[in-house]
Amino acid sequence: MEHGSGNDGRGQAAVLFDVDGTLVDSAYIHALTWWEAFRQYGYTVSTALAHRSVGMGGEELLDHVLGEDRDADESAAISAAHKALAARFWPSLAAFSGAGDLVRTCAARGWSTVLATSASAREAKVLRRVLEVDDVLTAMTDADDVERAKPAPDLVSVALAKAGADAERSIMVGDAVWDVLAAERAGVRCIGVLSGGFSRQELLDAGALEVHEDPAALLAALDRSVLGSPDRLLNGWSYPADTGSVR
């Protein structure tokens, strides 16, 4: 089994984890609360569109759903309504099975571990408490750190800077096409998980290297995954073709 230090003078090798829908089971909570927030202000937005927009930053999601010429004051009210509705679920939030163990195992294998979320700083603190991985966490970045959140690359770039990591030596793990696109635009490859509700084909079409069912499945497949060692990205590693459950 390979184990890399991730530090050979070229910068750290980092794994950047999206949180909502990737490590914490909250994607559908956000879909429902965005749907309700839009409804409160007279907009008929399907739950499918709300769900497919989750993973973007709030401003980016509002642009996506309402258009860039939307009313700023009304948009701020919709965003505030979503945050208030979502906060009601904070006491019941839970990490996916294997999520904490995945982060800890990656740290043990030489990766710098970073949480890179489109959530606000206030929401990010809640998610961080749910995960309980602070003792192995290198850094965390959230939507309040950047002017543009996912699918723009800014959040990924800030996460790399906080970790002192090189893009070509780093990998992102996310559940949404917005994670894959943001990572790609920052020069980082991405592994997808299906736990947020995006399909395998959607994630692969967006450019994901691998797609796994959830954090526990990725952890179980770690020895076959590019995430198994920081050295694999630079060595052109690809997931074995005879394990069709992934790709």
Over residues 86-139, the pLDDT tens digits come to 999 999 999 999 999 999 999 999 999 999 999 999 999 999 999 999 999 999
What is the fold, at CATH topology level, of the domain defined by 27-91?
DNA polymerase; domain 1 (1.10.150)
The pTM (predicted TM-score) of the whole model is: 0.91
Residues in contact with 42: Cβ distance below 8 Å, sequence separation at least 6, in sequence order: none
Equal fold, 14-26+94-228 vs 27-91: no
- Using one digit for the tens of pLDDT, what is the confidence trace for 26-47? 999 999 999 999 999 999 999 9
Class of domain 14-26+94-228: alpha beta
Residue 243 has pLDDT above 50, yes or no: no
- Where do the structural domains in the chain lie, given as residue ranges? 14-26+94-228, 27-91
